[in-house]
Structures are given as C-alpha cells and as structure tokens.
Amino acid sequence: MKLLRYGPLGQEKPGLLDADGRVRDLSAVVADIAGDVLTPAGLDKLASLDIASLPLVPGTPQRDLRLGACVGKVGKFICIGLNYADHAAESGAKVPDEPVVFNKWTSAIVGPNDDVEIPRGSSRTDWEVELGVVIGKGGRYIAEADAMSHVAGYCVVNDVSEREVQLERGGGQWDKGKGHDTFGPIGPWLVTADEVPDPQQLAMWLEVDGRRFQNGNTSTMVFGVKKLVSYLSQFMSLQPGDIISTGTPPGVGLGQKPVPIYLKAGQTMRLGIQGLGEQQQRTVQA
C-alpha cells in the first residue's frame, strides 16, 4: 500500500494511492496515518479494505492536490549521520565505528512539495536525499534478527541542513543545523514494507534546478536498516510513527569541488527513491 495524507496544511486527511494513481479517502476508516494505524494490526485492517469502494478524492496528487507529510503526529524524527562512506569522505569525516545519531525537530516536517525556507542569515543551506524508515511495531532492545518486523514502511526524506550552524557555530550543533522549520520534507507516500522486498537495493537521486548532484543507492550504507532499528532501540523505545532518516549518499553541496555549492531562494530541488516516489520543493527566504 501507498499511504498518504492530503489537503491543506494542518488539515490533512488520511488516504491511499490506488493502482491508477488516484487518491482514495480513508477518513471513514481511520483518523490519520499515525500511531496505532501503523502497527501490524492497523496495517492489516487497511490491507483488507476494498479500495474500489473508498471515495475518490478530486485532483491529481502533487499537481492540483496537495500532499502533506505521509505520517502524522510523529513522535521522534531520528537521523543518522555519515552513513555512506563516500559521503563521509566528501565531508572530511572518517567513517563512524557506530551510527552517528541526531534529531530533527518535528516542527521541521512538511509535505513533499511544500516550500523549503532558507533561514535568515544563512548562506550554507544544503540538501540530502535520504531513505526514511517508519516504525510500525514499537519496542526496546530489539534484536537485529527481529528488526524488520518493527518496520511499517519507507518514504523519501530531504534532510535539509544549514552547514554553518551544524559544523561551526557553538562548536557544531547538528540538531540546530538540521532542525529549522521546513527542513524535513517527508513523502509523497509511505510505502508499506511488503512492497519493498529489499530496502538495501534502492536507487536514490537529487537535482537542483535540473542539475543532478546526488546519484546513489542504499546498498552502500555503512549501517543498514536492520542494524539501525536494533541499534537505536538500545537507547530509546521506538514507537509507531517514529521516523528514522538513514543518511545520504555523496553529492551534497558541502562536498562540491573546487568550492561548495549551497541553496539560495528561488531554486527548485527535485529528488526521489526507487519505488517510493518523488519530491519537489521551491526554496524561499524565511
């Protein structure tokens, strides 16, 4: 299934994408794509529905029908840094011995086609296409062998970053540099795990104004999805609807040679992951 949330900002309704690419309304079935709806029992309930009997929503998604973030009421937005060896190299960092963990504030979450703000005073705002893992079954101290049973599905994430704040101000503040409002576009839809047989074999890419900067594959992750779910659960309980953004391949603005390239207002980012859909955002000044 491809689950989504559609409608005006702050008034999103639950829906799913049918085989013809049309949105079907789930409002009579669930209140939101969030929490217990993402548990195995919740997803089984949705999978049993007669999709053709669900109301059609007028409009074409991502054209004249706005999509919000594909998960609502996110409790934790957990991110992994330097999780592709070639991205670590372009960033001038060593490959980590264990996952580098930071957070994006949930107030950073926006829809896949919403505007992305350049923070006031920023000259080093950057892009990062990432695989998002959405937790379905909560847990603590999860064994790697069991980790995939805790995954509801996957989505595209743009881990927008302000590099000066992240790497320099205050000695480097990753959470501050990653957490500005609009810095977390998510979606267009949550693709349930049964439709993604191997999350470690997904092509991913990102363009700015039509120029391809990132062209990678989840196969080159340092720490794969199983490892990350298990690892994080040693330090916190994972709960339904939590999102793990698993790191980015090379090609970010920071790593461009001979000089870095950063975003400015009026540009267009376009990005996607194989089987998970595409995003497109316009940059605007905050």
Give, as one character, the DSSP assignment of residue 96.
P
Is 237 part of a structural domain of the chain?
yes
> In this predicted structure, what is the pLDDT of residue 20?
97
Is 119 part of a structural domain of the chain?
yes
User: pTM of the full predicted structure?
Assistant: 0.96
Q: Minimal CA–CA distance to 55: which of 113, 10, 6?
A: 6
Domain count within the chain: 1
> In this predicted structure, what is the pLDDT of residue 170?
72
* 255: amino acid identity, one letter: G
Per residue in 237-246, pLDDT (tens digit) is: 999 999 999 9
Under-50 pLDDT residues of the chain: none
> In this predicted structure, what is the pLDDT of residue 18?
98
> In this predicted structure, what is the pLDDT of residue 88?
77
Q: Which residue has the tokens 């090379």?
A: 250
CATH number of residue 184's parent domain: 3.90.850.10
Q: Are 148 and 137 in contact (CB under 8 A)?
A: no
Is 35 part of a structural domain of the chain?
no
Per residue in 46-57, pLDDT (tens digit) is: 999 999 999 999
CB under 8 Å to 159, separation ≥6 — which residues? 79, 104, 128, 129, 130, 178, 183, 184, 245, 248
Is 48 part of a structural domain of the chain?
no
Is 189 part of a structural domain of the chain?
yes
Is 102 part of a structural domain of the chain?
yes
H or E segment at 163?
helix 163-167
Whole domain around residue 261: which residue ranges? 69-285
Rounded to whole angstroms, the Cα distance separating 150 from 138 reads 7
Q: Which residue has the tokens 């101290």?
A: 141
Torsion of CA 38, 34, 281, 222, to 10 degrees: -40
> In this predicted structure, what is the pLDDT of residue 168?
81
Is 112 part of a structural domain of the chain?
yes
Q: Minimal CA–CA distance to 68: which of 10, 1, 128?
A: 10
Is 180 part of a structural domain of the chain?
yes
Name residue 260's beta-bridge partners.
none
